[in-house]
Chain A
Amino acid sequence: MKKYIGNEDPVSHELETIEKRKLETPEAEPPMPTVPPYDPPVGLMNQFRRKWQEAGKPKYRNPVVAAVLQVVPGLGYVYMWRMAFAALTAFLFLLAYVILGLRILQYKPEVNARLATPVNPNPEPDLWNWSLLTPESITLLWVALALLAINLGFRTYHQARLNNLNLQVKSLAEIRKARGTFIQRVLTFNYLALIIFVFGILQVAKDSDFDLGRLISKLDNIKRYVGELLNPNWNALFTEKGIMFRARETVEISIIGTLAGAVVALLISFLAARNLMGRNPITNVAYYIVRIILSIQRSIPTLFLAIVFVVSVGVGPFPAVLALTIFSAGLMTKLFSEAIEAIDWGQVEAISAAGGGPVHVVLFAVIPQVLPYYISHILYSWEVNIHSASVLGLVGAGGIGQYVQDAINTYKYADIGMALFIVIVITMAIDFTSAYIRAKIL
């Protein structure tokens, strides 16, 4: 998006705030004079570094505060990893996160100057250079690891006690005893998660520039645009490559993307179901490989996928179909495998006790149990995909988003209002139909 209406557009606002920061910063602290500003070569990695450095420096002047704010949400992610995978992967993740995160935050020109040589007096920052790791970072790394280890240790111990409880304890008194003393309860309580959560929220609000004042001061602007949107242009409906044409394209993209994703997910979901795979070392390895691939896949935003495909296969609905296929295959694999994990295992046992082989078990004990859920999940994915398909056009991947993109570029706000209206109608129609069918089959 290059053009904006009105004198208050986001880009100029951003520039303004950056200017302000620049003005404020030198006053707050004496500048570091010795090192001339570093201007890195253009490149994705360097741009990231630049961004990190800019984000990190002015906000958190005190290195300890900076590091704590950096580590705490990190621990949150670690905690989620621990829930999703296992303690070991969580530890590795934490290590990577803290080292990389602290290194970036701790970047200081005067430290970086240590890398200077007579040949290269202005070295670019090398985040992987261990000699630049500051003592604060190392201390914090250990503190974070120790905290996590203590909490994990206590919780694991407590869990083991509770497990024994199920099998051996008979009386209420014993159950009370096994619950532990007050101190034990304090130690095993998941306070870490609570703190992480609170700090995480605080930082999220800070990072996303949450500012009610700014919202209120711009209320007039918002009113003006919304007013135009609410006055849709009905004539835009049936023009060539008009709204109806693009809307149909959106629906078609979502249908094909969902179906292709379902086929892929159908095959992979068996590999991603712990109860089927976890009983045998070989299949267990397959299970973990599939899970790791899935978690990587899920972390790629659909819009990003669409951009990649638009660049590689060209503009139009096809890149959107590819992006949705990958996205919904991941989503459905997760949902499908969860359905498999929830099956009544007795039916599986009965088939194998009758001499059935592994494929028989899948055919006769698993599929009949999960089929209605599969259909329901496919419909649900379709609902999600129709939402995504409307947006993907913004990056050139066809559908109604494409129409909106074109209309923005030509300032036709009333046409956008019309497109929005059609999107709402279609999405609601599909949501209602799908919800109705799902309620029927489950």
Chain B
Amino acid sequence: MSSGAIETGATQIEVRQLSKVYPNGLRALDNVNVDIKKGEFVAIIGSSGAGKSTFIRSINRLVQPTSGTIKINGEIVTGNDLRHLRRDVAMIFQQFNLVKRLTVLRNVLMGRLGYKNGLGLIYPIFNSKDVDLALASLQRLGIAEKAYIRADQLSGGQQQRVAIARALTQEPSIMLADEPVASLDPETSIVVLDILKRINREDGITTVVNLHQLDLAKEYADRVIGFKGGKLVFEGTPDQVTREVYEKVYR
């Protein structure tokens, strides 16, 4: 989180020959190879069922890949130390996935669970450093005044901001977002994506976002990756996304 010099250019996520076959025999990812650089803002596009979610969830092992490897910061990800991996790779979801009956602050504190060990695994106690971090994240997202309100009382856009605050509180180096604006109206979508972009720029957090809206992907991403039928069919800068690319990815 040091806002010092960000060495872009170094590969942070290295995906090699990644495949996923679901138990029902459906091949959701087919031999995918991608490199994602430190500090990059990558948008993944593709129609529904193309494998975007499966790809992004393979990175933090919410989905167990069938074959292939993923390296993060040069280390191969195995299923062994998942908690360590996941506190460094934060995630936000289309449905926000806040614990609705808890307060906003409590939700944001969930971002500190990855750092609890020993007795804290049975009953985590959040110390003042945790609370300070959580409040700072809320402040940064402009919803500090909602800290003691129950999460289900907020609007969709506010809930997604709480979810981002929760992710930030993890002090991650990678942020994954699976359709973060698909349940939001156009104006709120822009607010949320602006926030993600700002965090990406200021903190140098590598950001991978699934977006099915092509225009938003072109506007925010440094690089666009296109999936179709589980295969990677396009990789390039936003200006390279032409009419033909659109046809290739969505038809």
Which A residues contact B (CB, under 8 angstroms)?
163-164, 167, 344, 346-347, 349-357, 359-360, 363-365, 368-369, 371
Contact = CB atoms under 8 A, between A and B. Distances in A.
A364 B115 contact: no
B101 A369 contact: yes
B236 interface: no
Q: Lowest 8 A-B CB distances belong to which pairs?
A: A355-B114, A355-B87, A350-B97, A356-B113, A346-B97, A368-B101, A353-B91, A355-B86
Given A350-B110, A356-B113, A364 B170 contact: no
A344 B110 CA distance: 17
A351 B113 contact: yes
A357 B84 CA distance: 11
Nearest to B166: A354
Contacts of A356: 83, 110, 113-114
B114 A354 contact: yes
A386 to B, nearest CB: 30
Interface string B139-181: 0000000000000000000000001001100100000000000
B56 to A, nearest CB: 11
Interface size class of B (residues with CB under 8 A): 20 to 34
Interface in B77-136: 82-84, 86-87, 90-91, 93, 95, 97-102, 110-111, 113-116, 121-124
A274 to B, nearest CB: 16
6 contacts: A344-B100, A355-B115, A356-B113, A357-B113, A368-B99, A369-B100
Contacts of A364: 99, 102, 110, 113
Contacts of A167: 24, 26
B62 interface: yes
Nearest to B101: A368
B7 to A, nearest CB: 25
A355 B83 contact: yes
B206 interface: no
Interface of B: 24, 26, 60, 62, 82-84, 86-87, 90-91, 93, 95, 97-102, 110-111, 113-116, 121-124, 163, 166-167, 170
The A interface is mostly helix, strand or loop, or mixed, namely: helix
A347 B87 contact: no
A350 B60 contact: no
A355 B97 contact: no
A83 B248 CA distance: 46
Given A344-B100, A347-B99, 13 more contacts: A163-B24, A347-B98, A350-B91, A350-B110, A353-B86, A354-B114, A355-B113, A356-B113, A359-B122, A360-B113, A364-B99, A364-B110, A369-B100
Nearest to A351: B110
Given A167-B24, A347-B98, A364-B102, A354 B123 contact: no
A163 B123 CA distance: 41
A346 B113 contact: no
Contacts of A350: 91, 93, 97-99, 110, 163, 166
A291 B83 CA distance: 30
B26 A349 contact: no
Contacts of B122: 359
B99 A365 contact: yes
Contacts of B87: 354-355
Nearest to B88: A355
Contacts of B116: 357, 360
B110 A354 contact: yes
Contact of B124 (A353, A360, A368): A360
Contacts of B102: 364, 368
Given A355-B83, A355-B86, A363 B123 contact: yes
A355 B170 contact: yes
A157 to B, nearest CB: 15
